[in-house]
Amino acid sequence: MRAFAAGGVGGVCAVLTGHPFDLVKVHMQTAEKGVYGGAMDVVRQIVKRSGPMGLYAGVTAPLYGVTPMFAISFWGYDMGKQLVKRFGTVQGDSFSIAQISTAGFFSAIPMTIITAPMERVKVLLQIQGQKQKAGEKPKYAGSYDCGKQLYKEGGIRSVYRGTFMTLARDGPGSAAYFAAYETVKRRLTPKDVDGKPGQLSLLAVMAAGATAGVAMWIPVFPVDTVKSRIQSMPGKPTIGGVVRQLYQTGGVKAFFPGMAPAMARAVPANAATFLGVELAQQAMGKFLDKKNV
């Protein structure tokens, strides 16, 4: 339960820190070739069209969704470690990095149930201004209206479009995420003269979190690009069709648009995530200790 609550706090920290970067990434992934001259051009056009708050377009969906999403992710990771402990060989709580990766992959399975529809709504809200003419009323009034229209258009299948690609991204991504965090955390944890681990500083927690965020995105970024296309295109796009279209229009490079803002987001957002998780766990630990006195 503590992992569930701490994960929710970390999720809110991640959204508030990283949403503008994510917005820029999605615009670059879904726009036609030549629409934007780069990440800063995306920012300039958004601010010109909608003001500074335009950088937080679609933030409601991840704020509502990310709290339970991260809560379930960290709960799933905790459950994954318990399963590894039950069916594998673990001495005490000393998990190998491979075992951490397995637990991380498992965390993505329950998380996808929330992530897939949330990202479908978020992507549509983020890009609806791209083709919108001046003075034209936006198609979606907000997260709830978007979800309602999607359900009306195609039922639950429309709401959950892109679920497979979401899991294909988050499974290996989460495996790399938690493995990288644990690796850096172990390297930065101070030890006394007897070799016993000491208290990890909050700065070290942030450094490990930032590294984890970068490690998560590098192997799965092309999958995320395909996912964003599938979730934003009209009609019934297929994975194969989207992959072919991307390759025909820009080769391998077409699978990596928005990489710079994604990496720029990964550092502060995931540093904030693990900082929030760590502080929440410390606060809950002190509260529970006082109750038990």
CATH topology of domain 2-129+139-292: Mitochondrial carrier fold (1.50.40)
Report pLDDT digits (tens) over 152-211. 999 999 999 999 999 999 999 999 999 999 999 999 988 776 667 778 888 999 999 999
Please give the full DSSP string across 94-163, using - where no structure is assigned. Answer: B--HHHHHHHHHHHHHHHHHHHHHHHHHHHHHHHTTTSPPTTPPPS-SSHHHHHHHHHHHHHHHHHTTTH
Strand, helix or coil for residue 197: strand
Average pLDDT estimate for 110-129: 87
71 pLDDT higher than 70: yes
As a whole number, the mean pLDDT across the chain is 88
CA 171, 173, 179: angle at the middle one, nearest 5? 105
In the chain the first and final C-alpha atoms are separated, in Å, by 20
Confidence of residue 293 (pLDDT cuts 50, 70, 90): very low
97 pLDDT higher than 90: yes
Instruction: Kindly report the pTM of this predicted structure.
Output: 0.79
Question: Could you tell me the residue ranges of all domains in the chain?
Answer: 2-129+139-292
CA 187, 264, 5: angle at the middle one, nearest 5? 65
Q: What is the structure's pLDDT at 161?
A: 95
Please give the full DSSP string across 5-38, using - where no structure is assigned. Answer: HHHHHHHHHHHHHHHHHHHHHHHHHHSPTTS-SS
Provide, rounded to the nearest whole percent, the portion of the chain with pLDDT above 70.
94
Amino acid at 202: L
239-253 as b/e: b if 16+ CB within 10 A: beebbeebeeeeeee
Q: What is the structure's pLDDT at 290?
A: 63
Residue pair 255/246 in contact (Cβ under 8 Å)? The answer is yes
Say which DSSP state 254 is in.
Answer: G
Report pLDDT digits (tens) over 121-165. 988 988 887 666 666 788 888 889 999 999 999 999 999 999 999
Confidence of residue 234 (pLDDT cuts 50, 70, 90): confident
19 pLDDT higher than 90: no
